[in-house]
Amino acid sequence: MPENFSLHFCFWGAFVAEIAASIAVVVALVALWLASTAHRHTESTFTKYSSCLDRQVREAQVEFAQLADKIQREMKDLERSHSSADSQVREHAEKLNTLLQRVKILEHELKSLSDAIPPQFRRPPPKRAGSDFSA
């Protein structure tokens, strides 16, 4: 009986080991299947998220490009108005210089005409407030 018992125990142990190995293989396959499913889910979520993010980035790029074009147009308009304002300032400065030269000439002629009048016929110039002309 001990011989039979040990042989029976040996077969019983091998049978249990086969069952344990089979269960281990099944558990490993289920783990692989779960990992694969999780990976597919994560990958699809990442793909959706990245496509959404890509779309938002492209929209932002388009908005920034439009804004940059608008700013460039405004800068060109400002440069044109600035250059026209500069030319107007130069023209006005030239006109002012011309008028100041004419005023100086007129002052000089008025002084020479005043000096040409004999002293007994001269009148003192009327005093005006804020008058800078010298007689």
pLDDT at position 9, please? 54
Domain boundaries, the chain: 2-85
Q: Is 114:134 a contact under the CB 8 Å cutoff?
A: no
- For tokens 């940059």, the residue is 68
pLDDT digits (tens, 9 = 90+) for 79-133: 988 888 888 889 999 999 999 999 999 999 888 888 888 877 777 767 776 655 5
| pTM score, whole prediction | 0.44
Cα angle 42, 47, 50 (rounded to 5 degrees) comes to 120
Alpha carbon distance 122, 95 (integer Å):
34
